[in-house]
Amino acid sequence: MTPQDRAARSAQAMWSDDRASPWFGMELVSVGEGTATLSLKVQPHHTNGHGICHGGVTFALADSAFAFACNSRNQATVAQHNTITYIAPARLDDTLTATAREVSLNGRSGLYDVTVTRQDGEVVAEFRGCSRAIRGTLFEE
């Protein structure tokens, strides 16, 4: 099985059991070994009292991209620590794209950066996630 096939099967297995990401309105755009891209169109229920996309929604999008990237090798992996820096607001009807890439993988620990952009390419947030592999796989090989 190629790394791309493994990443696609891992994503399929995760997406089939993921209730949160689809509930938010996220779409899985692409996956690869150590990478993932998800998108979300900002809807009225995503906005806060300032009329901009709630930071928790942006965080959730970045976190989901991180999750698909760090699970792309069919090794069950969870978040150990995450941080986010908000750079620009997203507004109603904006389409956000979260692109995750692996920075480092050493033993059971991984480091991933996720950039969240608007449809015009402006960066909305930068997220860094630290992962930890646990027992188990997403599908039988």
pTM listed for this prediction? 0.96
pLDDT digits (tens, 9 = 90+) for 100-121: 999 999 999 999 999 999 999 9
What pLDDT score does 38 carry?
98
Q: How far apart are CA 141 and CA 88, in angstroms?
A: 42
Q: What is the pLDDT of residue 117?
A: 98
What pLDDT does residue 46 have? 98
Looking at residue 58, what is its pLDDT?
98
Residue-range domains of the chain with CATH: 3-133 (3.10.129.10)
> 113: which strand partners?
101, 128
